Structure 1
Amino acid sequence: MSASQRPRLILASASPRRRDLLAQIGIVPDAVDPADIDESPLKGELPAPYAARIAAEKAALVAARYPGAAILSGDTVVAVGRRILPKAEDEKMARECLKLMSGRRHKVLSAITLVDADGKARHRLSTSIVLFKQLHADEIDAYVASGEWHGKAGGYALQGRAASLITWMSGSPSAIIGLPLFETRALLTAAGLIS
């Protein structure tokens, strides 16, 4: 499919990290239109179904605004056991998240949905595991002071200072940052948007 025949690709995310990750694989969305939805977990909702639901809802909302376009959305969730950690919006929340993850493994679930030009939705979920070192109070203080945690799931960003606090990880670095590139490329290829 030539570029002129290809449907417009709309990224349903305000995340500059997702745009940067797409650029790494040579994809530039035709437009960016974030989906403003209620991201509160449902009662008893587990992390993986939650991530998949939020990504699907974001895509559906934006797809309704762009008939005939392809819509790509994503959601990244940090989970300790069955507990979904919030996007840290204040220092207290960031500290709580870091203390909870200190010295233990947690999962990063990165869900993506692609709605093609015909309205067909395709979904993928990438699961990664991350282990933080045992964090000392001064390390938590320094990280919180950096401000890097703001708005990040679980209160940290792999692509920043937190990388020096991680002793081990398994999975996709791009998924931990916010967009699993292997799965994204597979969805775009399946939908005929790239070859």
Structure 2
Amino acid sequence: MPDTPLLLASASPRRLELLARIGVVPDRVTPADVDETPLKAELPRLLARRLAETKARAVEAPGAMVLAADTVVGVGRRILGKPADAEEARRFLTLLSGRRHQVHTGVALRLPDGALRQRLVSTTLAFQRLTDQQINAYVETGEWQGKAGGYAIQGRAEMFVRFLSGSHSNVVGLPLFETAQLLRGCGWLRP
């Protein structure tokens, strides 16, 4: 399948950058337009898995493979999406201050025959205790905009991380090891 076109069902520039790190350049980027609202009592990890699958199936791509992903930040059962405004970003960072949380990314690869292969990757992080001054300074950077949980680990927020267990690229938005395994498993990516 190395000659099969690969579509990325994501508008995230971070996912494109991450794929480039492992030598993967999609033939086309076609963001999937899906409702990302969690279902009642849906757990963060299950939401990430469901949304990745939904996005992979939403894109019309006859004869192509579709790669989709969705990243969800969870504190226990609570889902922290993309903050709507600076005040919500402050609330998220206050909640994350001094405690552990999880970042879950669902990755789905739809093959040309419609078969779906999936992975779910979870990474645990702990932030240091953040002062109001640190939170306000971070929010002022605007780096939180469009980021699940209200922070970007690939930016200034990395200095807040006192513990990380799992995949760093997962926290950025796409677990590279698992994504490469999916692409290798169907013969698209060579070793």
TM range (shorter): over 0.9
Within the alignment, does 1:57 sit opposite 2:54 as a pair? yes
Other-structure match for 2:41: 44
Secondary structure of 1:96's match? helix
Out of 9, 14, 17, which is 1:17 matched to?
A: 14
Cα RMSD (Å): 0.8
Q: Which digits, 9 at most, give the CA deviation of each residue in 1:29-48, with x for residues without a partner? A: 00000001110000010111
Q: How does 1:158-169 map to 2 (within 5 A)?
A: 158-169=153-164
Instruction: Return the TM-score normalized by structure 2.
Output: 0.98
Q: Does 1:183 align with 2:178?
A: yes
Unaligned runs of 5+ in 2: none
Q: Distance in 1 between matches of 2:150 and 2:179?
A: 24
CA distance in 1, matches of 2:90, 2:72: 17
Count of aligned positions: 190
Task: Please name the residue that 2:132 is paired with.
Answer: 137
Match of 1:123 in 2: 118
Aligned residue for 2:148? Answer: 153
1:59-93, CA deviations, whole angstroms, 9 ceiling, x for partnerless residues? 0001xx11110000000010000111111121011
Amino acid at match of 2:64: A
User: Which residue of structure 1 aligns with residue 78 of structure 2?
Assistant: 83
Q: Which runs of 5+ in 1 are unaligned?
A: none
Task: Tell me the alpha carbon deviations over residues 144-183 of structure 1, each in whole angstroms, 9 at most, x when there is no partner.
Answer: 0000000100000000000011111110000000000000
Q: Report runs of 4+ in structure 1 exceeding 3 Å deviation.
A: none
What is the alpha-carbon distance in structure 2 between the residues aligned to residue 16 and residue 175 of structure 1? 14
Aligned to 2:66: 71
Indicate whether 1:173 and 2:164 are aligned. no
Aligned equivalents of 2:43 and 2:176: distance in 1?
A: 24
Structure 1 vs Structure 2: percent identity of aligned residues?
A: 54
Q: TM-score, normalised by structure 1?
A: 0.96
Determine the C-alpha separation between the residues in 2 that align with 1:130 and 1:60: 31
Opposite residue 86 of structure 1, the aligned amino acid is G
Secondary structure class of the residue paired with 2:69: strand
Tell me the distance in 1 between the aligned counterparts of 2:175 and 2:183: 12
Q: Distance in 1 between matches of 2:169 and 2:22?
A: 11
How big is the shift at 1:118? 1.5
Secondary structure, counterpart of 2:20 in structure 1: helix
Does the alignment pair 1:31 with 2:22?
A: no
